[in-house]
Amino acid sequence: MTQDSPGCIVTLTPNPSIDRTLVLGDELRRGAVHRISSSGAQAGGKGVNISRACLAAGVATWAVLPADTDDPFAHELTVSGIPSRLVPGGGPVRVNLTITEPDGTTTKLNHAGSVAGEQVLVALAATRHDLADAADWIVLAGSLPAGAPEAWYAALVDDLRSRTRVAVDTSDAPLLAVVEHLDSAPPHVMKPNGHELASLTGHDGDALEADPAAAAAAARSLVDRGVGAVLATLGSHGAVLVTPDGAWHATPAPTEVVSTVGAGDSSLFGYLLGDLRGLAPARRLALAVAYGSAAAGLPGTTIPEPAQVRPDLVHVRDLRLGDVTAGLSG
């Protein structure tokens, strides 16, 4: 998995963050004093994580986000070599804190971030629009900043989908707004996790994650409304992929979970990478799960290198036909 891949993925992270990670040597106990065994920080946010994965895999990328050029966030992007288009005027980039326990349990404390004024939102949309014709995929990722309308992503999908393919990975009110506009502006790919998918269907999140068939049925309801593909990540239960042509479930090889932060972003990148390589849906899903499980085995928000990703160890089954694919290579 060292070959460069064709194509270009442009990411939009309207509410980026500096992700600080604290690794504890024992179980987190409320009200107790803990010693930190290690710590780290890097420029993050869902879209930035995907652009970071692009850089490692040899895929062309642009990361679009609000940040002043003298913000420490912008400096870290430059040091990391991530090509970026910065829109100034959005205020300082927020800092999110992740606490990781020895068993991989992850606790996140996310700051709301700065308020994005109309001028910043217009500039972000315009920058994204300028890059659309050169992009094979545009990824709209993460939460929206304060000041952005809940339907902002939905409006961007409507604007962009005729020019390139659009993937959406968000939650809460912005996700609900995208779903409310599916009849007129369905994304080409949506990547909810099990709990986000459950929020759209009225299921219990834990129960849906543990039942791939139920998750696929819930995802099918989105595909039936025009979404090109739904990649639903199910935590330790792997992921399901539903397209108009079928449904598949994939489980990773046993993984020692170190941190789940960034695993979903890595999964979405793996799927898009598989698409750029022209892989069949089952193989795209295998690559997605391999990227996600590799990320879960790394500390903090570390995005895996291609050499760390093992799609050949992922088991994929066709939910209509049974166990027909296993040990797929990327």
Rounded to whole angstroms, how far apart are CA atoms 271 and 202?
A: 26
- The CA distance from 24 to 99, in Å, is 7
- The set of residues, in sequence order, having a beta carbon less than 8 Å from that of 103 and lying 6+ positions away, is 27, 257
Do the Cβ atoms of 230 and 219 come closer than 8 Å? yes
> How far is residue 163 from each of residues 134, 170, 214, measured CA to CA in Å?
9, 21, 33
In this structure, the number of other CB atoms found within 10 A of the CB of residue 73 comes to 26
- Those residues whose C-beta lies under 8 Å from the C-beta of residue 319, and which sit 6 or more positions away, are 212, 213, 216, 240, 246, 247, 248, 249
b/e code 26-62 from CB counts within 10 Å (16+ = b): eeeeeeeeeeeeeeebbbbbbbbbbbbbbbebebbbb
Residue 199: partners with Cβ closer than 8 Å, 6 or more residues away? 171, 172, 175, 176, 205
Say which of 26, 265, 275, 323 is annotated catalytic.
265
Cβ atoms of 50 and 269 within 8 Å: the answer is yes
Q: Residue 280: which residues within 8 A CB-CB, separation 6 or more?
A: none
Phi-psi region of 327 (alpha: psi -120 to 50; beta: other; left: phi over 0): left
300-314 exposure pattern, b = at least 16 Cβ within 10 A, e = fewer: bbbbbebebbbbebb
265 is catalytic: yes
Residues known to be catalytic: 265
